Structure formats: C-alpha cells, structure tokens
C-alpha cells in the first residue's frame, strides 16, 4: 500500500473488528504470566490515563446500581483480548471527551460491554463485593469510574 497513513487506519480498523469480549472460560484459563502482563499493562494504562484526568486516591462504591448513568467498557490487550487491563464505567455524556487513541496507544483496545456482562467480568476477576473503583475527574467533575487489573485480589 502506497499511503502509510491509510495503511495504519485500515490496520487499526481490522484489529478493532477482530476483537471479541472475553468469556468466563477465557478468564478462568488465565495463567500467572497473563496476570503479570495484565498488571503491568494496567499500571501503564493508569499512568497514561492520569495524563488526561485526575484519578481520586481512594476507591468508591461499585457502579452497578439499578439507576446508574454509565456506559461500561473493558480495556483489553490487543495481542490477547482475554487479558482485561481495566474496567470503566463512563458517564453517558462525558464532557470534555478524552483522547482515547493517545491513552490506549497501540497495545490496548476499548470495548463497550453491557452492564450485566461488565458486572459478571468484574465479579470474576475482582470477587471483592464493593469499593473496587476509583473516580476520575475532568475539570473537577466526575466523568466516570475505573478499576485496574493490578487491584485484582484473586479469581473465583
């Protein structure tokens, strides 16, 4: 392909469309190496996210209430999508918008998940019942909640 920019856009689109949500079986098959990689990637992700938002120093209650106003996402490793790096509950109308391409880089991908699936994934990788999420703020206003793989305290 002669146009390198077009090549990278097409490659990114191809990679984005081939990613699928990890299943519970995928999570149960994670190795210690996978967990170590997830932890390292989540630490890097937190650093990159911290360049664009203010992450509160303390955790808050989990966002899976009946009347919440969030869209749910998982951040996964593009090379092995069963490696969940982070789980995010983002306000439905977050303003100003974040530069996710810069935050994620080439290694990570953001996948939207239904709230029920997000809760199931969270329960599998973070069996502790509550206070697993950090609030993050943009211009002093809470834009969402985020949980990182380095917080994992075990698996079911």
* 54 within some domain: yes
Neighbouring residues of 127: CB distance < 8 A, sequence distance ≥ 6: 153, 154, 155, 156
* 114 within some domain: yes
* 67 within some domain: yes
* 36 within some domain: yes
* 33 within some domain: yes
Per-residue pLDDT at 11: 55
pLDDT digit string, tens, across residues 120-130: 888 888 777 77
Q: Which domain holds residue 143?
A: 21-151
* 9 within some domain: no
| Percentage above 70 pLDDT, the chain | 84
Kindly tell me if the per-residue pLDDT of 1 is higher than 60: no
Burial of 145 (0-12, 13-18, 19+ CB in 10 A): buried
pLDDT digit string, tens, across residues 12-31: 555 555 677 888 888 888 88
Whole-angstrom distance, CA of residue 133 vs CA of residue 58: 8
Q: Compute the mean pLDDT over every residue in the chain, rounded to the nearest whole number.
A: 83
Q: Which bin fits 154, alpha (ψ -120 to 50), beta or left (φ > 0)?
A: left
Residue with tokens 């950090």: 134
Give me the number of domains the chain comprises: 1
């Amino acid at each position: 392909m002669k146009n390198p920019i077009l090549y990278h856009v097409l490659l990114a689109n191809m990679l984005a469309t081939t990613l699928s949500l990890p299943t519970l079986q995928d999570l149960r098959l994670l190795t210690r190496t996978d967990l170590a990689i997830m932890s390292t990637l989540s630490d890097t992700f937190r650093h990159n996210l911290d360049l664009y938002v203010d992450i509160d120093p303390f955790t808050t209650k989990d966002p899976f209430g009946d009347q919440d106003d969030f869209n749910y996402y998982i951040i996964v490793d593009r090379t092995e999508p069963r490696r969940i790096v982070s789980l995010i509950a983002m306000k439905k109308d977050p303003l100003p918008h974040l530069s996710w391409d810069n935050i994620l880089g080439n290694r990570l991908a953001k996948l939207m998940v239904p709230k029920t699936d997000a809760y199931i994934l969270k329960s599998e990788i973070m069996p502790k019942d509550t206070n697993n999420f950090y609030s993050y703020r943009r211009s002093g206003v809470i834009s969402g909640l985020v949980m990182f793989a380095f917080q994992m305290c075990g698996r079911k």
